[in-house]
Amino acid sequence: MNKTLTDIFEVGSVLKTLVLCVLTIGLYLIYKLYRFSKQINKHTTLKIPNYFIVITVSLFSISLGSLINGVVNIHDLPISQSSICIHVVSSVFDVMWIIMVRNRINKISASNKGDILWLNPFLTSIFHVIYIQYKINQSAVKATL
């Protein structure tokens, strides 16, 4: 690929990303994944299918509503169990989306294991878009050197 990460993605505050992910109960995480995906789809041939994005966002919304309902009705075991099941399915799609974004960013940056811009799968799975934003910011610093 001839594009750099800063040609495709915006440099942004990692602290802001962290705070917003926590304060919005994960909504900002989904928003950032959506933005990353749209930028990937707009600037590269490594498309993330729009139907996958819609399904994942829908499942996240249903899961969040279900979890809130489960907490409100904590005394009702079947409701709590069903909310956990829905959350598991949603989480599987979220993880698949994060992996798609991670793999495409690694291809865009032409990074391999051990390179400074390589997105480590373990750190990506823990810190999600916070870590991805950090690596995008690192790309900007690397470009100025």
pTM above 0.85, yes or no: yes
From the CB of residue 63, how many other CB atoms can be counted at a distance below 10 Å? 22
How do the pLDDT tens digits run along the chain, 145 residues long?
A: 446 788 889 999 999 999 999 999 889 999 999 999 999 999 889 899 999 999 999 999 999 998 888 878 878 888 777 888 888 999 999 999 999 999 999 999 899 998 989 999 999 999 999 999 999 999 888 767 6
Contacts of 17 (CB under 8 A, 6+ apart): 28, 32, 129, 130, 133
For residue 120, what are the domain limits? 5-144
Domain count, the chain: 1
